[in-house]
Amino acid sequence: MPVPLQDNVGFNTSPHPHVSQPTAYNSGVQLTNAAADTTGTTTVVEGARYRFTAMETGGFIFGMLDPATAANVIWCCPLYNTIEIQIPLGGGTTLYYQTNTNNGLGYLVRIPLNTDETF
């Protein structure tokens, strides 16, 4: 019997994050960081699921608090990879991120949790 893959909150997810899955129309956000080890932020929705792809020059780390403190790092995404994350309920609406090199570039896209979810 196949075991379904799950995100960090236990929701079933696609067989691999690179596998296509419907995304919320107009939900993509470009995340950039001109200098390594500086913190950027973007607004997210509590409880929502997102897919992030690191596109250029380096990997990303994410947290619901500043990832400059290692204990705050929740997710990591190496260069040219895609991860799926679930924003914790009660964790706030600000997602913090850093890159390990200058000029990091990636895309964050919201994924519907079910076919009835609307944005």
Is the residue at 34 inside a domain? yes
Radius of gyration of the chain (CA): 14
Domain that holds residue 47: 29-111
Which has more pLDDT, 104 or 12?
A: 104
Lowest mean pLDDT among 2-6, 38-42, 84-88, 112-116: 2-6
CA distances from 89 to 33, 58, 93 (A): 26, 29, 9
Residue 7 confidence (pLDDT) above 70: no
pLDDT of residue 58: 87
pLDDT of residue 91: 83
What are the tens digits of pLDDT across the range 55-110? 988 899 999 999 989 999 999 999 999 898 999 998 899 999 999 899 999 999 98
pTM: 0.79
Q: What's the domain count of the chain?
A: 1
Is the residue at 40 inside a domain? yes
Is the residue at 118 inside a domain? no
Is the residue at 57 inside a domain? yes
Is the residue at 15 inside a domain? no
CA distance 53 to 75: 12
CA distance 30 to 23: 15
Q: At 62, which CATH number?
A: 2.60.120.10
Count CA atoms within 13 Å of residue 54 on its CB side. 22
CA distance 101 to 5: 30
Is the residue at 43 inside a domain? yes
